[in-house]
Structures are given as structure tokens and as C-alpha cells.
Amino acid sequence: MASFREEVRQLARGWRWGRRPPVPATAEPETPAREPGEFRTAWARTPAARATREGIQRYLLRPLVWNETRPRVHGLEHLDRIRGPVMFVSNHASHLDAPLVLCSLPRQWAKRTAVGAAADYFFDVWWRAVSTAQVFNAFPIERAGSRRGAGTARKLVEEGWSLLVFPEGTRSRDGWVQRFRHGAARLAIELELPVVPVAIRGAYAAMPRGRGWPRPGRFPISVRYGPPLYPAEGEDFRSFSRRVSDEVARLLDEDRSTWWESKRRAAAGATPSPSGPEAPRWRRVWEATRPMAGGGHGLRRRAWTRTSTRQGSR
């Protein structure tokens, strides 16, 4: 009995009644944060989901985008000389980009293409994750350097699916091309995939970041596909990523001029930089939204008004 009372007293003396624990937090073993699991998208490639998606893209999404904007598609003949799967790599300036590519591809390509989408944006809540996976056949990829999502991409390619990725990682804030991250090139080399570069021009003017619907006025947009690029034997992902980025820049130059002129400038190392001028943001937006050939009246006035209003409200 005395021994029991002594143990109780010892426990009471050692107990930190309402006070901080005797062991500092820095000395306690650290429990790593549990990494969230990847949102499963295999259901979006079942026969029923594929049939539903084809109907949505063909009879709802394409008429909607083509009615609200004026897309022009070039270079689809390059797809006639290759077989899938391939990796489509595009610049990224608008939420219109994925619909523009999927709805401009020939049917046999569109129905076998999956889109890499940012996990922290499109797969952060269940309803957006489900709708993105269903409508775009999207799968989550990490923008923070994690390799999560690479396993899904590999499995898709093994099953014969082509991939559509945006190496910039996020939409442009001013319409100009940002630095390409190396993940797409690394994945293409690992999976031995040819890369089909895609240059989209005019999408930022039609639906810039921050808008949930295209601007009124049916802004012209150009979607231009280039010839496939293949990694050279022994080429590292940095070199291949640079080649892909350079070809997207050349396609943008071709869209503003001609194929011959863009090739001459590329051979001379004089392709205009797709990253835009060193200037304040309002000027970069102004330059990025210059009217395109064949329409676009009012583009300059709209971009100027939007930017000036935003800056004045800060």
C-alpha cells in the first residue's frame, strides 16, 4: 500500500498540470505530414465514360468554343505521318487551351488523348476533379516538383493513350510564354514518346486569366501543330526541353509571319523570344493582345481598359 502511495506521489510530481511538457518540441520526434493520395481517374476511361466524353466534346464543348471564339487550326497534316501514342506539348495562356487542342484534333486522336492537369487546382475538390476527369480525360500532375502522377502517365501510355501537357505549369499572367519546366521532356524521354509541339495564339486575349467565360466579340485564335520531335540518342531532358520550347517559339513566329521566314530566323538563331519584352505588365499585356490578322477589332482597347482598371483599383 505504501509503495502504491509513493508511486502516486511520484506521478503527481512529474505531471505537468496545465504547463508545457518537459521535452521541447524541437526534441520530439517529427511526424512527417501524410501525402494525400492521388485522385483515381481510371473510371473516366471506361467505355461508358468515353462515350459520354465524346458526346460532350463533340456536341457541346466544340460548338460552344467555336461559337464564342474564331479558332483557326493549322498543321494537322503532321499527324498523318505518325502513330500514337505521342505527347502534345503546348504553351498555356488560358483555360481555353485544353478545349482548343482536344476539339481541333481529328476524332481518332481526340478520343485517345488524356490531359495532364494541375492536382492542386483541378483536383482539389471532388466535384471539380470528377468534372475535369470526365470532360477532358484529365489525370492529376504535381506542379511542385513531385513525381506523383508520373505512374499514371506511364500506365496511360502503355495502354496506348496520348498525353497533352502544358510545361509552363500554370497559365500566363500577361499572355507571354513562361519558362518550360523539364518534367514533360523527362517524361517523354523515359516513355520514349515523340513530342508534337502546339502553339496557341490569341487565347489569352479571348479569355485571360481571371475570367470564367470568353470575352464577347469572337476573338480570333490560332492553333498550330508542328512536326514531331524525337529525343536524340543520349540526349538529356534539359536539352530536349530546350528544343521543344524553341520549336513552340518557332511555331508562334510562323503564325505571325510565314513558314519560310520562321525557318530562316530559327536557323540564324533569331527567332523572336516568346517570353515578350522587358516592360511593365500593362505594356506586356498590350503587346500580347495585338489584333491578329483576320479580325480582332477592339483587342487593344479592351486589354488596355482591363489592365488600367486593375492597376487603379490596387
The confidence score (pLDDT) of residue 11 equals 53
Give residue for cell 505531471: 15
Question: SS3 for 201?
Answer: strand
Domain ranges of the chain: 42-206+213-284
pLDDT computed for residue 230 by the predictor: 96
Residue 298 is predicted with a pLDDT of 38
Residue 180: DSSP 8-state: P
pTM given for the model? 0.81
Q: What is the pLDDT along the chain (314 residues), one digit of tens a residue?
A: 556 666 666 655 555 444 555 556 565 566 555 555 678 899 999 999 999 999 999 999 999 999 999 999 999 999 999 998 999 999 999 999 999 999 999 999 999 999 999 988 898 889 999 999 999 999 998 866 555 557 889 999 999 999 999 999 999 999 999 999 999 999 999 999 999 999 999 999 999 998 989 999 999 999 999 999 999 998 999 999 999 999 999 999 999 999 999 999 999 999 999 999 999 999 999 999 988 864 333 333 343 333 333 433 33
How confident is the model over 145-177, as pLDDT tens digits? 555 557 889 999 999 999 999 999 999 999 999
Nearest Cα residue to 117 out of 39, 201, 54: 39
* pLDDT on residue 303: 39
18: left (phi over 0), alpha (psi -120 to 50) or beta: left
Q: Using CA atoms, how far apart are residues 134 and 17, in angstroms rounded to an integer? A: 55
Pairing of strands 195-201, 87-90: parallel
CB-based contact 255:199 (threshold 8 Å) = yes
Nearest to 250 by CA among 241, 239, 261: 261
Which residue in the block uniquely carries the three cell numbers 512527417? 32
Tell me the HSE value of 140 on the side-chain side, using a 13 A CA sphere.
22
CB atoms within 10 A of CB 74: 17
Domain 42-206+213-284 has CATH 3.40.1130: yes
Whole-number Å distance between alpha carbons of 67 and 216:
10
Q: What is the pLDDT of residue 294?
A: 42
